[in-house]
Amino acid sequence: MNLPTEQQARLQHLAQAVLSTSAHLQVTDRGVFAQPFTAERAAGLDGDAALAERVDAFVARFSRLQDLLGDKLLPELLAALGEPPRAIIDNLDHAERLHWIAAADDWMRMRRLRNQMVH
């Protein structure tokens, strides 16, 4: 596949951003989930500023990674394959058919959970 230089550069930039964000998320994940994240730990966030900070960082990095993948990289990859622009759920369904993701419904559930955690 012979892509225009700008599209190649955009894909490379997005791929690097995904790798970087993923690495940061993994570090945060180890800090938050080194112990099981129980209802008791969640209820105690107001009294544990350090844990609350790590949870906030996890939510922010997870959100950033999901946005990078679903809202930026996936549409760009599909465009490189000649696919027309579509709504995110349609892109996710297409990615599922291509076996790039396991389940579009799971992606959307994680997105809703993420939005609940932010608010």
Tens-place pLDDT, residues 29-59: 999 999 999 999 989 999 999 999 999 999 9
Task: Provide the residue ranges of all domains of the chain, joining segments of one domain with +.
Answer: 5-118
Alpha helices in 1-119 (DSSP H): 5-32, 39-43, 49-67, 74-80, 88-97, 104-118
The DSSP secondary-structure symbol of 100 reads S
pTM: 0.85
- Residues whose CB falls within 8 Å of the CB of residue 38, separated by 6 or more in sequence, listed in order: none
Tokens 């945060």 found at: 28
Separation between Cα atoms, residue 29 and residue 119, nearest integer Å: 20
What percent of the chain stands above pLDDT 90? 87
Tens-place pLDDT, residues 77-89: 999 999 999 999 9
Separation between Cα atoms, residue 73 and residue 11, nearest integer Å: 7
